[in-house]
Structure 1
Amino acid sequence: MNSSKSVGDRPAEGERLSKRIMQLRDCSRREAEQYIEAGFVRVDGAVVQEPSRRVTTQHVTVDAHASLLNLMSVTLILNKPAGWTDGLEPLPMKKPAPVGRAAVPTRVPKGPQNVRTLLTTEQHSKHDHSGVRFLKSHLAKLDASVPLEYEASGLVAFTQDFRVQRKLMEDMAFIEQELIVDVRGEVTPDALRPIERAMRDERLRLPDFKISVGSANPERSKLRLAVKGSHLGLAVYLCELAGLEILALRRIRLGRVSLGDLEEGAWRYLSEGERF
């Protein structure tokens, strides 16, 4: 009987980097993984952030000042393109290949693109002035809770911080969001009177909101809509009341956090002084 193993059955060479760090720091496996994911570990002088990386004779070091006490959860601000889902839905899971078989690419059903696919190193804004040092672990375990219309673009928040997530969920009714509504043609303040009448009609039970004309020209006008809470479809409903055709919808502010000049499709860190 031939007991030789095929190349594919041979054990992987070396040991996991996390195991080497457990030996160097005399720590648990999870702590070793955190040191690596936080960028404190170098292999032959280069920072490595993958605990599963295998090492043999390479020189492995841990930053002398490495500490797990200051590792922080982050919040990301992303500028969602129109026609993308808002990321509240998870990405489709890939079905693992059966044991002993080669992995076969999984077909993902065609459909709207999920903005979570934009949370990559490549989409990190070059104009991020937060001062936060990028770690691969910052792109994992991110929650979202404030929906944005599929047709709209603008600010979407993702967070690892349970305190931020709790505020956005529990206090959303008191957090104001601001949207820019581009409509066709030149709009005068008088054109908004049907909306003002609806605002005073208690039977409609509309949320408290403010709407005004920001700029107008014969081709296109910009309306500013501010409303507390999450009210999907409100902008469309109000424009229908006034007979206005929406060309574009964009969320530019959520609470005290503004989209600013963040590029479409890019993300940045929430700065230390920013609060929703």
Structure 2
Amino acid sequence: MKKTIALLFTCIGLVAFSQEKAQDPQEIEAIIVNAQTDEPLESVHVINLNQVKGTISDSKGKFRIPAAVNDTLYLTYLGFKPQKVRVTNDMFKFADTRIALTELAYALEEVIIRPYQLTGFLEIDVKNLPINTAYQYSISGLSKSYEAGNKNPSAVTKVLGAILNPADLLRNLFGKRPRQMRKLRQMKEDDQIRDLLASKFDRETLTELLQLEKVDIEDILSNCNYSESFIQTANDLQILDAISSCYEEYKVLNRGN
């Protein structure tokens, strides 16, 4: 009899545990407002950077999105400063959590561009001119040197990658971020994220999602034979698709090695 009761409680515990697991992932609900006016903001794009899920706030500033504690939400809205919000336990318990976005300042002070402050005295002006920090790297057997831009460990790697084999540079960039690169497929499958990226041209959302620097994105596409014009003018969705295509080619190449 005791064994039967113990078995019954064990089964109940397993059922309860499985129900809790079935409820994952949970969703949070919050309201986005203008920090200056406290008015709700409609059509704010919200992305869960950890789970690669996106949504948009409604006319009352409300949104719902799958999330877990310590996930990071990335909020963007035209004319407002992008903001990151860490998901906390209280967000699951209260539906009236308010997130305030700060409006960007449009007033720009007059700027006078003076590249160098010249006095007219040669001895003084020579000392004020900036020192060229673009270092040159020469390789035995090649007739000319190559400029890497600055003196850091990645500079030499980029020079060698560009000279010897573009695939080497891709391997260096992709190989260090396999987890971030796996997000590419998730991003392409989420319609909300795709719609957001289609309206973006600044690469800021892409850098947050992929944890890549803008210069890395440019290096990847350049070494996948995309033109400078495309890299500079394409919207973020086109850039995402180009990186994804490049990554698929890299995987095939890497598998061959």
Band the TM-score falls in, shorter-chain normalisation? under 0.3
> Which structure carries more relative contact order (alpha carbon 8 Å, separation 6+)?
1
The structure in which a higher percent of residues are helix is 2
